[in-house]
Amino acid sequence: MNHFEYRGGILHAEDVAIPDIAASVGTPFYCYSTATLVRHARVFIDAFKGQKARLCYSIKANSNLAVVATLAREGAGADVVSEGELRRALAVGIPAGKIVFSGVGKTGAEIAFALETGIDQFNVESEPELDLISELASARGLEARIAIRVNPDVDAKTHEKIATGKAENKFGISWKRAPEVYARAAALKGIRIVGIDVHIGSQLTDLAPFEAAFRRVADMVATLRAQGRDITRIDLGGGLGIPYRGDNDVPPHPDEYAAMVKRAVGHLDCELTFEPGRLIVGNAGILVSRVIYEKTGDNRNFLIVDAAMNDLIRPTLYDAFHEIRAVAEPAEAARVTYDVVGPVCETGDFLAKGRELPELKSGDLIAIMSAGAYGAVQASTYNTRPLVPEVLVNGATFAVVRARPSYDEILKQDMIPAWLQTDKTPSR
Ligand code: LLP
């Protein structure tokens, strides 16, 4: 459920009319709903009532400080994959004790920073990483709490670019080798084994692959305990899918997911960590754009809008479907099949293809739904298009939580070296 609805024929985010935001900040812009963020966090937390579980929001899905702060207020911790994300979590007051650090390529500098801030857990993805953590922790007289991310070799049945749990994926350490790597870890200075970690992919709409992976992890916990390892925590990653096609799309509810978790690992009496990203923010955000032109091709109608692949790359990168709505709800308008495309000079620049929509014209606003996760965070300035601003709605108010940069600010990021400067080079 989300808080984007038509009221009086106009799409609203909570109590704010989308055209009012457009008039104030211009288009395109991302718009997030506080009530939806909070609701999603609570539904997830409630699903695990009675289990020892914590939510470490996966910051990569949407790292705007205002979004992370909203979730921090709900008690969420954070799953981070870079020093930048770690700094974001700390900046909004998430205690280091609620932060887990995942990722296959943590650098020495990042590990050192994380150790010094006292994060709760490193999810280790390779033996060289384990050695480096040991070296950096012991040099500081510290002990790093670690979980080893195992690769369970399970097909997540999601888009191949976001599946992470097969043996051929770069993630984790083969579950077959895990006991041996744990034995090594146990002998290393500066390392304290606390648990085991798994994450098999994103936008999973079937519980079976989760269950297969979690059962494999449960068996592994038994094996490791038999070998004397003190496994008290299991990090089950993120990945639960969300509906992208409105009511036609019914992925498992967090309650069903939680029941499956209990079946798979409940008997182990471990503390559970979850790293949902998309589930929390995906349907809490939309991308609002304005139609620039309607253009009729030989066999296509193109709706050329002011948002593009650089603002939301998911359709072209993952063949993702995002529902598109007219911001002014059409009465009985004629319907037209459009390719909704942006201004970027690439054939891959589309937001939807062959989509039947009410007839739209230049100046009309559209909303690209379910864009709160992996939208703004994956945006670029390709074609020197300014990054899209982000707006957070809270009831009847809204705030710009990231401003659109000016062209001056964008150009100032580049520098012209001395040998290219002439008396005609404008001083900046
Ligand atoms: N934990 C780990 C270790 C992850 O790698 C990820 C996502 C998550 C948690 C959060 O997964 P979620 O709950 O959001 O599914 N850009 C892609 C998705 C990439 C997901 C990367 N890892 C997209 O737009 O679909």
Q: pLDDT tens track of the chain, all 428 residues?
A: 789 999 999 999 999 999 999 999 999 999 999 999 999 999 999 999 999 999 999 999 999 999 999 999 999 999 999 999 999 999 999 999 999 999 999 999 999 999 999 999 999 999 999 999 999 999 999 999 999 999 998 888 888 888 888 888 888 899 999 999 999 999 999 999 999 999 999 999 999 999 999 999 999 999 999 999 999 999 999 999 999 998 788 899 999 999 999 999 999 999 999 999 999 999 999 999 999 999 999 999 999 999 999 999 999 999 999 999 999 988 887 899 999 999 999 999 999 999 999 999 999 999 999 999 999 999 999 999 999 999 999 999 999 999 999 999 999 999 999 999 988 776 66
Residues classed as catalytic: 345
Output the CA torsion 99→39→199→93 (10° steps).
-10
Q: Tell me which residues have their CB closer than 6 angstroms to ligand 1.
A: 58, 61, 79, 102, 162, 199, 202-203, 237-239, 275-279, 314, 318, 373-374
C-alpha to C-alpha distances, 4 to 35, 129, 171, 283, nearest whole angstrom: 10, 44, 36, 9
What are the b/e assignments for 59-95, b being 16+ CB within 10 Å? bbbbbbebbbbbbbebebbbbbbbbebbebbbebebe
Q: Out of 54, 55, 151, 278, give the residue to mutate to test ligand 1, the one with the largest number of ligand atoms within 8 Å of its CB.
A: 278
- CA of 162 relative to ligand 1 center, distance in Å: 7
pLDDT of residue 426: 67
- The number of CA neighbours under 13 Å toward the Cβ of 7 is 11
d(CA 58, CA 71): 11
Q: Locate the ligand 1 atom nearest the alpha carbon of residue 103 and give its number.
A: 3
Q: Locate the ligand 1 atom nearest the alpha carbon of residue 278 and give its number.
A: 14
Write down the pTM of the prediction.
Answer: 0.97
Q: Out of 55, 58, 316, give the residue to mutate to test ligand 1, the one with the largest number of ligand atoms within 8 Å of its CB.
A: 58
d(CA 240, CA 310): 26
Neighbours of 337 (CB within 10 A): 11
Residue whose Cα lies nearest atom 22 of ligand 1: it is 202
- CA of 199 relative to ligand 1 center, distance in Å: 9
- CA of 397 relative to ligand 1 center, distance in Å: 30
Residue whose Cα lies nearest atom 8 of ligand 1: it is 238
Q: Locate the ligand 1 atom nearest the alpha carbon of residue 81 and give its number.
A: 3
Residue whose Cα lies nearest atom 9 of ligand 1: it is 238
What are the b/e assignments for 370-408, b being 16+ CB within 10 Å? bbbbbbbeebeeeeebbbbbbbbbbeeebeebbebeeee
Residue whose Cα lies nearest atom 16 of ligand 1: it is 374
Q: Where are the beta strands (DSSP E) in 165-232?
A: 173-174, 191-197
- CA of 236 relative to ligand 1 center, distance in Å: 12
- CA of 201 relative to ligand 1 center, distance in Å: 7
pLDDT of residue 169: 86
pLDDT of residue 333: 73
